[in-house]
Amino acid sequence: MAEHVVIVGGGFAGIKAAEALAHQKEVSVTLIDRQNYHLFQPLLYQVATASLEQESIAYPLRSLVQRFGSNVRFRLAEVTRIDAENKQLITPQANIPFDKLILATGMATNDYGTPGVDAYAYELKDLDDAVDLRSHMLMAFEKAAMLDNPEARSEWLTFVVVGGGATGVEFAGALQELVTHIVSRDYPEFDVQEEVHIVLLEAMDALFTGYDEPNQEFTRKRLEKMGVEVRLNTMVSGVEADRVLIKGDDPIATRCVLWAAGVRVTPLVESFDAPKARQGRIVVTPTLTVPDHPDIYAVGDIAYVEQDGQMLPGMAPVAMQMGRYAGEALLARLRGKEPEPFHYADRGKMAVIGRGAAIADVLGLNVRGVIAWLMWMGLHIYFLIGFQNRLQVMINWAFDYIFFERKVRLILRDTETDEMPAIEDGATPPLEEGEVVAAR
Ligand SMILES: Cc1cc2nc3c(=O)[nH]c(=O)nc-3n(C[C@H](O)[C@H](O)[C@H](O)COP(=O)(O)OP(=O)(O)OC[C@H]3O[C@@H](n4cnc5c(N)ncnc54)[C@H](O)[C@@H]3O)c2cc1C
């Protein structure tokens, strides 16, 4: 009888594991996720900054498993506990037994215990987060447009991004472009150049700490040239409803904070009894199994693996290679062969700062600027799942880059609408019944 393999997590690692096990008669596979879609997280910031529709970076897991053949099925469920002793997963709906388990649940936001982050800051991990953040930012512009006094407007027009890694830099750059090219057209009520501030805070002395110094400097200078204020060696000590507190410095008055400063494993992995390292990651064996649990693999961001003395980073290519490896290693063992240890084939990394500006450290080539940007776009299109998604993203990018148009400027969430300030004298007056809107 076929072994029952359960994969928890339909992210980059989970779907590669499922693909490796597809059409193999020795295994019957259940892919479980709490969401019914695979999410292309690297483009989440573009949903948050109104470049892309949320649907274009997500793909239904049920469509995906159809490609994998009849031995792979999908179950929508949130696993709340791993009962390794009895080889079952606990979910609110049912207990799911397994012969082999591949854990690929990804990371959650880490606020390092900073007060107020949970209550007042936005995060960028999921589609909901991106739509919430976009709605809140657009609502902040609407609120500012109601106020006549630039000082009162200031806290609505200051956007603070905490964390100078890929998410923070990419988001800050994309938001600055939205402001420069689109908000400036949309809101004649205020002077965008003078009044809108995007501040990127980083606790370390450089942005993009995973890159070399010239790339870090290029990134900082490029962001500053675009209009982003970059503050290095700046530690946030708290977030409140209307300001960010800075250790040893004045607070920044703001109504919009993105917390992109760190990650850690989810409560499910936290509660799983296994050796842990940085960010709560599971220290796996060389074949990616959990120590003392040869039938349980941990892959993707949740796995702690060192290679050449360095921890493998939480990146999509690492997760994909680990997922594929776990599927293949599991099959090899079922066929009586011992797999070679996992080795990450590092083909490099890249990140984007803004229009025509990216950094790429690929196959030994260190490229910056437009060439890196074109490479970045090509690679992201290639790795997106689904032809329709690729087409949709290409069309949106073309409109954005050629016509400076981002049509997804939609407020879809109720972001404290009831707190809309009263329109002040001198700001755009309220419309009389039947009156047509006229730009000032
Ligand atoms: C905003 C952002 C930007 C990024 N940009 C880049 C980039 O430019 N380049 C790059 O290489 N990497 C980037 N990354 C990192 C990359 O996305 C991760 O390394 C990758 O997603 C890790 O894959 P994974 O399979 O381990 O986890 P994920 O892709 O996070 O997948 C985990 C899956 O598990 C599911 N899940 C979690 N808990 C449960 C549970 N209890 N029960 C059921 N299902 C569960 C989740 O719903 C999710 O579908 C970015 C990440 C973020 C958040």
Where is 327: in which H helix or E strand?
A: helix 316-334
CB 278 within 8 A of CB 319: no
Q: Whose CA is nearest to atom 30 of ligand 1?
A: 106
- Is residue 201 packed enough to be buried (19+ CB in 10 Å), middle (13-18) or exposed (0-12)? buried
pTM for this model (two decimals): 0.93
Distances (CA, A) of 355 to 97, 149, 378, 424: 49, 33, 14, 37
Residue 418 has pLDDT above 50, yes or no: no
C-beta atoms surrounding 329 within 10 Å: 23
List residues near ligand 1 (CB under 6 A).
Answer: 8-14, 32-35, 39, 41-42, 44-45, 78-79, 104-106, 124-125, 166-167, 266, 268, 300-301, 314-317, 319
C-alpha span between 92 and 79 (Å, rounded):
8
Q: For 339, what's the count of Cα atoms within 13 Å in the CB-facing half-sphere?
A: 21
Report which ligand 1 atom has the smallest distance to the Cα of 77: 43
C-alpha span between 64 and 61 (Å, rounded):
5
- Is residue 311 packed enough to be buried (19+ CB in 10 Å), middle (13-18) or exposed (0-12)? middle
pLDDT tens per residue, range 324-334: 999 999 999 99
**For this structure, is 419 an active site residue?**
no
pLDDT value, residue 354: 93
pLDDT tens per residue, range 162-178: 999 999 999 999 999 99
Query: Which among 397, 411, 439 is positioned nearest to 177, based on CA atoms?
Result: 397
- Measured in Å, residue 9 CA sits from the centre of ligand 1 at 9
- Measured in Å, residue 338 CA sits from the centre of ligand 1 at 29
pLDDT tens per residue, range 67-81: 999 999 999 999 999
Residue percentage of the chain with pLDDT more than 70: 94
Q: Name the active-site residue from 53, 142, 155, 170.
A: 170
C-alpha span between 17 and 331 (Å, rounded):
11
- Measured in Å, residue 406 CA sits from the centre of ligand 1 at 26
